[in-house]
Amino acid sequence: MKQLSRVLVTGAGGFIGHHLVSRLRRSGYWVRGVDLKYPEYCASEAHEFQIMDLRNRKDALQATRGVEAVYALAADMGGMGFISCHQAEILYNNALINLHTIESARINGVKRYLYTSSACIYPEHKQTDANVTPLKEADAYPAQPQDSYGWEKLISERLCKHYSEDYNLDTRVVRFHNIFGPLGTWDGGREKSPAAMCRKVAIAKLTGDPVVEIWGDGEQTRSFCFIDDCVEGICRIMHSGTRDPLNLGQDRMVTINQLADMVAEIAGVRIVKKHVAGPMGVRGRNSDNTLLRRSLGWEPQISLEDGLARTYQWIEQQVSVRLAGNNSSISISGARLSEALAAGSLNQELDRPRVA
C-alpha cells in the first residue's frame, strides 16, 4: 500500500477522521481531507482540506479525483440522543454521501476504498441482555438494526461488496464499536457516552455539585475503544487482504454505571448518580474479536482506564475553558460556579443543542 501515496479522508473535520489524517501524514502519505467543516478543536494536518458536501455528486467527484485510496468516514451521526430522533435525516444524508462517494471513487479509478461501518448494524434481538454474547461479524444477518443509522450502514457495506465484485474496486469494511478519545465531540447533543460522562463528571468536579445524570438504569453494557487503537486498526485493515467486514473495538464490556464510577475515580471526585429517562439504545453490546485477531494478528491494546484518563483530562480542560468563558469573573473552582449553575446560565450553555 505504500504505492498508494495520495489518499482522501472524508469526514476529516470529524473526530476519527482528524486523528486519521494526522496518522496518515506521519506515515508519509499525501492527504486530502474533505468535510462540511474544519476540525473543531485543532487544525488539520491534511496537505489539502476542502470544504465540501458529499451529498452532492459534483463535490464527491471532485473530492475523489487524483487519489489512489479513499478512507470514507463522512457521516451524519451522533450518540443515542441524536440517532434515535433523526432517523429520516440520517438515512437520507448518509445514503447520499455513501452512494456518491463510492461511485465517484469508481469513476476516478480509485484503487482501494475503506468504508467505516458500525456495531449499530447488528440485530436488535441479539442485544436484549446486558450480559450479551459478543457480536461476531456473521451475526449481522438476518438483519434487524435498531435504527436507520444501522440500516444505512448495512446498505453501504453491501455497496462495497458489490462494487468490489462488479467493478473490481478493492474495498475494506470496518465496524467500529464505540470509539472515544480527546478531540471528540463532548457537548451539543451529538456526543457519545464516554465523552458525555467525562463532561458531566468534570462539571460535578468543577462546580461542587455531585449529581451526575445517567440515562436509564445505567445497567446497559458497552465496550469502548480508544482512538489510537482505532486509527491503528483502520491502517492495518486497509493494508490487510480482508474484504469482508471486520469488528474494530475492545471486547471488555462495562455498564454505564461502571463507566461513571471509573471516570469519577479518574477525576478524583465523589459523584451521586441520578437515573433519568432517556434513550438507552440496545441493552447490551460487545465485540467478538476472533476474526479481527485472525485477520490482522492484532487487536486493540489500550485499556479503558488509560483511554478514559487521557480523554477525561482533555474534556475537563474544555469544560474549564467553557465555564470560564461564560463568566470571566468566576474562578473555576468553588461555590460561585455552583451559584451560577443554580441560576441556570452555565447549564444552558453547556447543554444547548447544536444547530445542525
Residue of 7, 8, 9, 13 that binds ligand NAD (CB under 6 A): 13
Strands 112-118 and 69-72: parallel
CA trace torsion 85, 246, 286, 233 (10° rounding): -100
Judged by CB under 6 A, does residue 198 bind ligand NAD? no
Category of 168 on φ-ψ map: left (φ > 0), alpha (ψ -120 to 50) or beta? left
Q: Contact at 8 Å (CB) between 208 and 335?
A: yes
Q: Which runs of E-coded beta strand occur in the chain?
A: 6-10, 30-35, 48-51, 69-72, 112-118, 170-176, 179-180, 211-215, 221-223, 225-226, 246-248, 253-255, 272-276
Which residue's CB atom is positioned nearest to ligand NAD?
14
Judged by CB under 6 A, does residue 79 bind ligand NAD? no
Output the smallest distance, CB 66 to ligand NAD, in A: 18
Residue of 132, 169, 179, 183 that binds ligand NAD (CB under 6 A): 179
Judged by CB under 6 A, does residue 73 bind ligand NAD? yes
- The conformation of residue 183, written as its DSSP 8-state character, comes to T
* Nearer to ligand NAD among residue 84 and residue 338 (C-beta): 84
Output the smallest distance, CB 258 to ligand NAD, in A: 18
Helix ranges (H only) for 133-226 are 148-167, 193-207
Other beta carbons less than 10 A from residue 4's beta carbon? 16
Of the candidate spans 137-145, 174-182, 270-278, 347-355, the one that interacts with ligand NAD by CB under 6 A turns out to be 174-182
Peptide bond into 142 cis (omega under 30): yes
Of the candidate spans 9-17, 300-308, 319-327, 329-337, the one that interacts with ligand NAD by CB under 6 A turns out to be 9-17
Output the smallest distance, CB 19 to ligand NAD, in A: 8
Out of 29, 149, 163, 312, the active site residue is 149
Q: Is 149 a catalytic residue?
A: yes
Spatial separation of the C-alpha atoms in residues 290 and 304, rounded to whole Å: 20
* Nearer to ligand NAD among residue 77 and residue 341 (C-beta): 77
- The conformation of residue 355, written as its DSSP 8-state character, comes to P
Judged by CB under 6 A, does residue 246 bind ligand NAD? no
Spatial separation of the C-alpha atoms in residues 204 and 200, rounded to whole Å: 6
Binding mask 17-56 for ligand NAD (x = CB under 6 A): x-----------------xxx--------------xxxx-
Residue of 7, 9, 15, 264 that binds ligand NAD (CB under 6 A): 15
Q: How many residues bind ligand NAD (CB under 6 A)?
A: 26
* Nearer to ligand NAD among residue 172 and residue 192 (C-beta): 192
Which triple of cell numbers denotes residue 29? 502519505
Judged by CB under 6 A, does residue 74 bind ligand NAD? yes
Residue of 116, 146, 221, 289 that binds ligand NAD (CB under 6 A): 116
User: Counting beta carbons within 10 angstroms of the beta carbon of residue 170, is it exposed (0 to 12), middle (13 to 18) or buried (19 or more)?
Assistant: middle
Give the residue numbers marked as catalytic. Answer: 149
Binding site for ligand NAD (CB under 6 A): 11, 13-17, 35-37, 52-55, 73-77, 97, 116, 118, 176, 178-179, 185, 192
